[in-house]
Structure 1
Amino acid sequence: MTSTDSFRSLARTLETLVLGQSALVERLLVTLLADGHLLVEGPPGVAKTRAAHTLAALIDADFHRIQFTPDLLPADLTGSEIFRPQDGSFHFERGPLFHNLLLADEINRAPAKVQSALLEAMGERQVTIGQETHVLPRLFLVMATQNPIEHEGTYPLPEAQLDRFLMHVRVGYPDTAIERDILRLARAEALAGADSPASPVPTPAVTPDDVFAARAAVLDLYLSPELEDYILQLVAATRAPERYVPELSGSVRFGASPRASIAFDRCARARAWLHGRDYVSPDDIRSLAPDILRHRIIPGWEAQADGITADSLIATLLDHVPVP
């Protein structure tokens, strides 16, 4: 199979194991191919952890899950220097950050120092302990989750830190038909694992080397100058929406940063590649726009009082910014 076919097969396998979350599966693969990190918001029990764990198994990558809690310390992520009394030396014990795929579960339940340690590693791809700098694995993806309920005792991520996530995806409950399939899948997995304490582990579909080769192919995909200009206009419209919709004057306190333009460029190419095309289409850009922009836009106070949200602003801009 070609590299594209391998990843499309990977997507199909993921969708059969993570039922009812096809949008999350696609965004997770786009994030992997774009070499970024993903923030997922959704209620408990909708397969967020399962999606990350299954993807790691299918790409033959190390997986680690961290439950973020208020008493977590930065060293619980990065690792720390351990003193060896035998020879009086220090040895660096690596923390969970040194895995290929890290699930940061309920990231908003940890204090700012812990969040900063994670986000620094995401941005710099390294960890500094004392005088030593330790490089993270070449294949390194963080999928962080947020719970939209029970906000008491949480530490919301500042907008500047949110901007480091390639996309912010929202997932919901499956419909009744899908939930019936979930029941049957859970029953089948329980029967298959009845003689073993571990759940069945999927056979790897691609290797990390396949991922690196796919990333190179994605970057080489064709993006027309007209669509590049469309991306820049969309991002600029989040900063000055009145240029396209006069009624939105003053509705935005802060718009998307240049990281949004970079995210559009990489994610649109990755989505087009996953769909078997060698060029980016306007649909690639428009379908990804809410997930790329929603965490990068801060509506003004009056706009919020009028019920205007980041998502509604994005929908309005998509209707008014001309498509080439």
Structure 2
Amino acid sequence: MDPHRPQPGRQQHPLELALYEVKKTIVGQDLLIERMLVALLARGHLLVEGVPGLAKTMAVRTLAQAIGGEFQRIQFTPDLVPADVIGTRIYNQKDGEFQVSLGPVFANLVLADEINRAPAKVQSALLEVMQERQVTIGRETYPAPDPFLVMATQNPIESEGTYALPEAQVDRFMLKTVIGYPTPSEEFVVVERMTSTIEATQRVLEPGQLVEYQRRADAVYVDPAVIEYAVRLVGATRAPASVGLPDLARYLTFGASPRASINLVLAAKALAFLRGRDFARPQDVRDLAFDVMRHRLVLSYEALAEGIGADDVLEPVVATVSMPDVPLRERRPQPSEATWNTGPR
């Protein structure tokens, strides 16, 4: 039985229904779907790395259909210019005035496909919208829609004709998720679905409801010990010797920035809300540690020469830094609330 299928006789949370609608089409990418929802609730953005054909575009489009939001896909190419992304002013000969034509970035869910194929100027234009949530064209400022999520993709198997995102810019993404191939059983279901009539995605949520859930995720309680745990995890990437891992220092040029600590806590609050709690646990922080920090590490030449990746460095750090053992108050569901979760509580 599909655990996400709405059960008769039980009130369904709208986010649970949205999750089910996405999973009617997308098979086996549970981590990606969960991280997309975390980014939406935490008002962050998501960088996804994976080979072509893993349903990254379809996942964003399906989620947009389920929440009733507007979806736009931007295919990044070397000849793209900033105006192709954010918009520009066009002279109207009939009226004798300039009119603003807004770009595709003005949508609730924006897919920046292969972001590393566009020049630095185009990347900067998109990242500015992500950070400021507004665009200035001429003398006018235009706010981005609310909710607003940018999911950018990178192809890890091709480097020719690409422009790597600078460390200062990639730091703007709240999460970086790495996705891999489906299992044989999942791929069987994928082929079966894609070679038959695909069930239409139903709209089960309104953008205004999602904004309300963002506010509720903001109100999730975080114990100071959980914040301290997030800070210790991030601090260990800057001074690995302080947690008994002096050998890691030669693989690191710079550790994660303070933005990593902030985003660890914000994302943990959103994940706790998704899991049906009004308080965050240390496990929520630990579950998100790789996604929040892997793109914020600057590895040394020695690490690159030895084929050591960010996850190889983070693995011993996460395993070594102990989670706090603090008493956390249990959630008391209200009668009007539906109980649901996307993972362990």
- TM-score normalised by length of structure 1: 0.93
User: Does the alignment pair 1:260 with 2:268?
Assistant: no
Determine the structure 1 residue equivalent to 2:19: 11
Q: CA deviation at 1:282?
A: 1.8
Distance (Å, rounded) in 1 between the aligned partners of 2:172 and 2:204: 29
User: Does the alignment pair 1:323 with 2:323?
Assistant: yes
- Residues 178-234 of structure 1, C-alpha deviation per residue, up to 9 Å, x if partnerless? 1111112112326xxxxxxxxx64111111111111111111111111111000111
Determine the structure 1 residue equivalent to 2:55: 47
Distance (Å, rounded) in 2 between the aligned partners of 1:14 and 1:263: 25
Determine the structure 2 residue equivalent to 1:90: 98
Q: 1:132 aligns with which of 122, 140, 151?
A: 140
Determine the structure 2 residue equivalent to 1:161: 169
Query: Are 1:64 and 1:103, in contact at CA under 8 Å, matched by a contact in 2?
Result: yes
Q: 1:187 aligns with which of 175, 195, 200?
A: 195
Q: CA deviation at 1:131?
A: 1.9
* Correspondences of 1:240-319 after superposition (within 5 Å): 240-244=239-243, 245-319=245-319
* Correspondences of 1:171-186 after superposition (within 5 Å): 171-186=179-194
Query: Are 2:68 and 2:203, in contact at CA under 8 Å, matched by a contact in 1?
Result: yes
- TM-score normalised by length of structure 2: 0.88
Change beyond 3 A, Cα 1:3–1:62: farther
Determine the structure 2 residue equivalent to 1:23: 31
Q: Is the partner of 1:206 in helix, strand or coil?
A: coil
Distance (Å, rounded) in 1 between the aligned partners of 2:93 and 2:183: 58
Change beyond 3 A, Cα 1:4–1:209: farther
Query: Are 2:22 and 2:201, in contact at CA under 8 Å, matched by a contact in 1?
Result: no
- Residues 281-303 of structure 1, C-alpha deviation per residue, up to 9 Å, x if partnerless? 22211111111100000122223
Code of the residue aligned with 1:214 in structure 2: it is Y
Change beyond 3 A, Cα 1:3–1:242: farther
Q: 2:149 aligns with which of 117, 130, 141?
A: 141
RMSD: 1.7
Query: Are 1:3 and 1:214, in contact at CA under 8 Å, matched by a contact in 2?
Result: no
Distance (Å, rounded) in 2 between the aligned partners of 1:201 and 1:140: 24
Code of the residue aligned with 2:281 in structure 1: it is S
Code of the residue aligned with 1:139 in structure 2: it is P
Q: CA deviation at 1:49?
A: 0.3
Query: Are 2:254 and 2:297, in contact at CA under 8 Å, matched by a contact in 1?
Result: yes
Q: Percent identity?
A: 48
Q: Is the partner of 2:195 in helix, strand or coil?
A: helix
Change beyond 3 A, Cα 1:164–1:180: same
Distance (Å, rounded) in 1 between the aligned partners of 2:215 and 2:138: 35
Q: CA deviation at 1:305?
A: 3.1
Runs of at least 5 residues in structure 1 that lack an aligned partner in the other structure: 191-199
Change beyond 3 A, Cα 1:298–1:277: same
Give the length in aligned residue pairs.
Answer: 315
Distance (Å, rounded) in 1 between the aligned partners of 2:12 and 2:168: 34
Distance (Å, rounded) in 2 between the aligned partners of 1:138 and 1:99: 9
